[in-house]
Chains A and B, each alone.
Chain A
């Protein structure tokens, strides 16, 4: 099936544009206007909610009166019964029924008088206004919006023109990003806002509150927009969750369980999932997010990742618990939370790969290798984390502890066939590895910060913070390897190994940091020296690693294992890193009242790193004792410009240095002959590498109602004395590798993106464009000859998302990835690889209970030296919800309907070109049933 996807994409864009135009054309232009006045005290009523309802109380439009108390609606239907309702806190509600005349198409109510309530103690609103300003808080009242009884908060947000929910979960209100979403003033089931808005029923919600919180009162631009979902009285406890299972062709199955209980202070989640379709949850949050109820609106389906290599069967489960001790009425504490989490993940992974690798040699044509790799692995990991956080006005502290236990066993087999430049087979090998690993690690982290009263600008002391972390790790690894190597050039080189490794490693790391900002103020007093401020930071890391390696070879003559005295080793590796940092910084601000606020900040970090490396080993060559002393300065300049009512932009430059010291395995590895194609050799002259980078970032976002922002980032980095492989390839294609220092490298990276949302009366269009460019210069040293390869990587994606009411959602995505690699000295040695994919996803609510989803992705892969490969993946599902509360869901899914999924391996790493295929998930069909138990509040089960 060959479809030109670009044409398809253009058709989709035309469709979207047409839809926008349709939206505009269908508006009926009836005008309603008037002015609201207080009748007794004789003044206009500003910020008063005016709502227009059609028959059966369905909300048509709403707005707040302006500074003159005036309102003006211009898109109302003519000739129909309409109702105007005026509401304001403390005032009697005014309701007026009217019909806009078909001829004049306008009604002017002139002055509408309202009067204050006589008794303001019990305020009972007859009609709840959809929007109102309550002090500085913008409130959207849920009950003013009529939605299906099974709608969730997300469905409500889609009805509110001021709120945009983006594809990545970000929420913006009038163009400004919501940084924190709370439910009744507290975090809800972790930090992902989607868990709250896709689960909480709209009917349990009283109002959505949006307000600014000044994060740093000294800088008025640091205010953060918060959103709070205020639940109706009595709805602040309950439960919700999902129990689901599906079976499919080819023994495919999926099962998941999520059950969450909440009360005002306590939240508990219990989750579990098992499948054999590559849906691997790495944490509890992922499981919670993928099992949300999602209400009645259209949703683009969460699909299996067909690109993922191998077949994985994950089983997972766990719980999360948080208790927020705060009494929110007292406002005495900012944070007082105890949390605990346990997560178990068991993966059974099958992977298979067939590939051919060609390695270019200088002045020669390449050598070829054919590899067949198969592996299966069973991993089981337990994670148990607990933490406590407390914060008040002047201090905060936190403790956290985590225990990780990992057990994994795997078997990997690899058979290789290696040919020379004349295509003659020179060697072959087969290798089987059995690996069994058990690891335990314990982490403890603690931190405390103290700060002075922010209002006390005359106090010398600003703040200090102290952090300590401890990690204890214990690992045991048992490995058996069976290797046969046959040389077709020199039969004396034939080798066979049956080697057993027992490795025991203990790791203890202490990390301490102590920071005191504003030292000049502390030592010399307030306003004594204004040129710059000095912050002092200290980082100390002490690490001890003990390792015991026992290696045995099977002696076929003695028919038993004998110790390999060369590879058997005991070692102790200790490091100490101390980094004193003096940070000189200054911020210059310039403001014109009601015009702009600009801030220019400079920081220069004078940082010295002392890295003491001490290794003791039974092998003399590994007894290494070194001190690396490096000056690693960093600097940054940032500029922010807020033009009130227009835009905000930030520009920043960063310069940074990082040190990477050579590890023992890089300097003095023990040469394991069983690794027949790769032999690592010693190089004690290795120096530390230094990564030097400079970056530039720019971001601009509008302060206006239209959601529009764009950003640009540039980064240049180079690694001085980078530690790379120097490879010697012999006539049997065996690689002998020395680590060497080399500085012939650089990386240039550029990223850019823009987002725009267009809100229409019944629909919304979101556009997003992202682009990334990488230029990498990297050396490859083979047979003592250095070749510089340059790689240009270009990734462009354009995404357009269209939703129409709660009935239709369409997403079109076009992605173009291109990489071009060439040898600098020999331009004919070049390799191009491009991947174009176009996908269109549709979700449509055929009826209130019945939804269909379809997603098709067309991919084309073009590479130098091979014909272009086209493959299309089409998935579709039909979903039907039953019961009054839509609690039961039946779902029929068809995945990879066209049966074209093949995972192509196609990569080039500086002259080492690999083609191949790997085992992936392919076509299957499933039928699933899910039940969503839901209760919000004591009485109503939903």
Chain B
């Protein structure tokens, strides 16, 4: 429950950015919706090879220098894993074997060296590939700092007028991009939109105005995860909204509803939840009083015929069984929480605490993470079973401890069953 509350608070910080303005939304395409009926209670378990063809565990090296809390954002380059950790406000680089290379302590870049956490807003970083190399851009209190791949600062920080720090962008072409959490600094419409298309910096479409009026100031629940969820088609992204069970498909032409998830009524919010004034300002209270209700979905990666998603709920039934894969070809629901740790997963678990899911899909691999506390807790339960672990995991269990850095898990997902 404690983790739940922390995550909720983080999400609220993410989402509670306000001002009341009026704007015009673009129309969401809904002519080609596929309905998926999801009953978490009867999701199937089974073996890992139903979904994955390979699973690798990469313990991230723990030294005094490299100790961090949790992977808030993961980016993958040819040689490295680049991690942003909200706990320590650091960007860390580990090589592909998990060995620590270097880090940027973002705190020292805050204005005036003020490290007060309430004044220090960093939500992640942007990785920009330049041929075989890359740069890292971080927005710290409205200043964009640029670092090269050896984590040396490049140039002077550039001040920008981004009022919504968690904003992200995805480029379809040099001129066309889509940004999340968008608020225009020009023109009459100062509305706050979940997504906006920009063509040569001109706004061409805006979707999902976020009601930042007085009543939504009490914050909202969301499942978390990236704003733009990768699919195996680089032209197609997925998006989700809180208090909404639709999976939206984003392409360069606009946003459409791709899948409509329907849950049993005991898990579903009322259909008028977003429109009925009765719920205004009381939405968070509603979930505390009706904890079984699913407040949203997230992490909706689509890879081949498999649609991955995670349900968000305060209830332990969903928290312990909320990560799913839907086989679109066979209408077959698999719970990732119910897959047996087997030979493919080296007899180790793949999914941990409720608010975590796959951090990244890089076109080839899916990535997830488990804390060392979870790994060692699991190990304590199975160590008498004489299971065979890979040598590096044997070393990890032998030399490490539950206070070590998290373990990164790399999955090769199957595209069909």
Contacts and interface: CB of A to CB of B under 8 A. Distances in A.
Interface of A: 38, 40-44, 46, 66-68, 70, 90, 116, 133, 135-136, 212, 214, 217-218, 220-221, 223, 331, 393, 453, 455-459, 526-527, 530-531, 589, 591-595, 644-645
A42 B349 contact: no
B45 A456 contact: no
Given A40-B42, A41-B338, A217-B5, 19 more contacts: A42-B45, A43-B44, A43-B45, A68-B382, A393-B285, A455-B218, A455-B284, A456-B217, A456-B219, A457-B9, A530-B117, A530-B118, A589-B117, A592-B67, A593-B87, A594-B69, A594-B374, A595-B373, A645-B373
Interface in B327-356: 335, 338-341, 349, 353
Contacts of A116: 41-42
Contact of B2 (A68, A133, A214, A530): A214
B42 A459 contact: no
A250 B289 CA distance: 63
Interface in B188-232: 217-219
B119 A218 contact: no
A457 B12 contact: yes
A808 B225 CA distance: 58
Given A136-B1, A527-B119, A595-B373, A41 B43 contact: yes
A65 to B, nearest CB: 10
A44 B374 CA distance: 18
A592 B69 contact: yes
A221 B219 CA distance: 22
B2 A223 contact: yes
24 contacts: A40-B42, A42-B44, A43-B335, A67-B349, A68-B381, A135-B316, A212-B1, A218-B9, A220-B2, A220-B3, A455-B12, A455-B218, A456-B16, A457-B13, A459-B217, A526-B118, A531-B116, A592-B67, A592-B69, A592-B70, A592-B87, A592-B88, A593-B87, A594-B353
Nearest to B46: A42
Nearest to B88: A592
A218 B219 CA distance: 14
Contacts of A70: 381
Contacts, number: 113
B16 A457 contact: yes
| B2, B44, B46, B218 interface centre (most CB from chain A within 10 Å) | B2
B316 A44 contact: no
Interface in B371-386: 371-374, 377-378, 381-382
Given A214-B5, A458-B18, A595 B403 contact: yes
B291 interface: yes
Contacts of A135: 291, 315-317
A453 B88 CA distance: 28
Given A136-B316, A592-B69, A645-B373, A453 B218 contact: yes
B116 A43 contact: no
B136 to A, nearest CB: 22
B6 A595 contact: no
Nearest to B284: A455
Given A457-B13, A593-B371, A90 B338 contact: no
Contacts of B42: 40-41, 116
A41 B42 CA distance: 7
Chain A interface main SS type: loop
A68 B87 contact: no
A530 B116 contact: yes
A67 B378 contact: yes
Interface string B114-149: 101111000000000000000000000000000000
Nearest to A527: B118
A531 B219 CA distance: 26
Contacts of B289: 331
Given A41-B45, A43-B46, A212-B1, A458 B67 contact: no
A520 to B, nearest CB: 11
A79 B167 CA distance: 68
Place the interface of chain B in its size category: 35 or more
Nearest to A591: B87
Contact of B402 (A331, A453, A645): A645
B115 to A, nearest CB: 9
A594 B87 CA distance: 11
B320 interface: yes
Contact of A458 (B16, B70, B406): B16
A1 B377 CA distance: 58
Contacts of A68: 341, 381-382
Which of B88, B118, B378 neighbours the largest number of chain A CB atoms within 10 Å of its CB?
Answer: B118
B68 interface: yes
Nearest to A120: B41
Nearest to B341: A68
Interface string B25-45: 000000000000000011111
A488 to B, nearest CB: 78
A593 B116 contact: no
A41 B219 CA distance: 37
- A40, A42, A459, A593: which has the most chain B beta carbons within 10 Å? A593
Contacts of B285: 393
A526 B119 CA distance: 9
A594 B372 contact: yes
A645 B374 CA distance: 11
Nearest to A590: B87
Contacts of A527: 118-119
B46 A530 contact: no
Contacts of B406: 594
A598 B217 CA distance: 29
A214 B1 contact: yes
A90 B217 contact: no
Nearest to A526: B118
Contacts of B44: 41-43
Contacts of B353: 594
Contacts of A593: 69-70, 87, 371
A458 B214 CA distance: 11
A46 B372 CA distance: 20
Nearest to B285: A393
Interface string B93-129: 0000000000000000000001011110000000000
Contact of B381 (A66, A218, A453): A66
Contacts of A41: 42-45, 338
Contact of A594 (B45, B349, B371): B371
Nearest to A528: B119
A209 to B, nearest CB: 14
Query: Which of A212, A591, A595 is most buried by chain B, counting CB atoms within 10 A of its CB?
Result: A595
A526 B3 CA distance: 25
A409 B320 CA distance: 69
A212 B291 CA distance: 15
Contacts of B67: 592
B219 A455 contact: yes
A587 to B, nearest CB: 10
A645 B41 CA distance: 30
Contacts of A218: 9
A223 B41 contact: no
A326 to B, nearest CB: 14
B298 to A, nearest CB: 18
B5 A220 contact: yes
Nearest to A458: B16
A218 B88 CA distance: 19
A796 B112 CA distance: 54
A260 B353 CA distance: 47
Interface in B282-320: 284-285, 289, 291, 315-317, 320
Contacts of A217: 5, 9
A135 B313 CA distance: 12
Contacts of B68: 592
A66 B385 CA distance: 14
Closest 8 CB pairs of A and B: A43-B45, A530-B116, A43-B338, A593-B70, A594-B371, A220-B2, A592-B69, A593-B69
A90 B266 CA distance: 14
A214 B3 CA distance: 11
Contacts of A66: 381
